[in-house]
Structure 1
Amino acid sequence: MRKNKNILPPKEFAKRVLKYSIFSLLLVVISLGIGILGYHYIGDLGWIDSLYNASMILTGMGPVNVMESNNAKVFASMYAIFSGVVFLSTVAIFFSPFAHRLMHLLHIEEIED
């Protein structure tokens, strides 16, 4: 980064925030879809129960329905781990434009080797 580089104007910053927000939302929707399909087809749950379970796991609240088969238990375990990573990644992606702007405002420079 150059010290004389100005921060983005508000309109450009809003575009960047919108772009990162859309990407974050897309990541959540795809992750939720994976959970819904897995709970429906592997866990033998109805569509609404699959949505409910996937939503609860993805947001970190925990499982709702008990998984009966070993395959369903393995899926639920893997989806829980996946969801934890996705949740943290989504938060990081969503807030990165704000953190970047804050670093510019505070004049925090990247250390060059």
Structure 2
Amino acid sequence: MKLENRRQKVVPFPHFLVRLGRYGLFAFGLILISVSLGTIGYHHFGKISWLDSFHMACMILTGMGPVVEMTTPTAKIFSSLYALYSGVAFLSITAVFFTPIIHRLLHILHVEQTEDEN
């Protein structure tokens, strides 16, 4: 997923949409992995149903907070570690998703013009 440098021209809009789709799919994959990790962990350590585990993992990953109180020490440790992971993962996934958009905006502003275009 290489981006062009400032000496290269801005890619055409259809190519940009393909790039945006690739980055979006990658971000979606990271979300699936993160939610799956949390769902399995909450089900195993927290001894809660699959649906409640999924709900809890989604709420923690998006920063909304816990839904079910963890009662065992191992569940509390997992919940704490998953919350720390989720904070970093949420910001990283957001950055991955917005990378092509921000790059395109900055690239349009900083493209060097050749003498023919002046």
Q: Which residue of 1 aligns with 2:115?
A: none
Tell whether 2:32 aligns with 1:29.
yes
Amino acid at match of 2:53: S
* Equivalent-residue separation in structure 1 for 2:55 and 2:102 (angstroms): 32
Q: Which residue of 2 aligns with 1:77?
A: 80
Q: Which residue of 2 aligns with 1:47?
A: 50
* CA displacement at 1:11 relative to structure 2: 1.1
* CA displacement at 1:2 relative to structure 2: 4.5
How many residue pairs get aligned? The number is: 108
Tell whether 2:10 aligns with 1:7.
yes
Q: Which residue of 2 aligns with 1:105?
A: 108
* CA displacement at 1:42 relative to structure 2: 0.6
* CA displacement at 1:108 relative to structure 2: 7.0
Tell whether 2:93 aligns with 1:93.
no
- Change in Cα spacing, 1:2 to 1:40, as seen in structure 2 (3 Å) is closer
Tell me how large the CA RMSD over aligned residues is: 1.3
Q: Which runs of 5+ in 2 are unaligned?
A: 113-118
TM-score for both structures, normalised by structure 2: 0.88
TM-score for both structures, normalised by structure 1: 0.91
CA deviations over 1:56-105 (Å, ceiling 9, x no partner): 00000000111011000000000000001110001000000011101111
Q: Which runs of 5+ in 1 are unaligned?
A: none
Shift >3 Å, 4+ stretches: none
- Change in Cα spacing, 1:87 to 1:108, as seen in structure 2 (3 Å) is farther
* Equivalent-residue separation in structure 2 for 1:80 and 1:100 (angstroms): 30
Percent same amino acid among aligned pairs?
Answer: 47
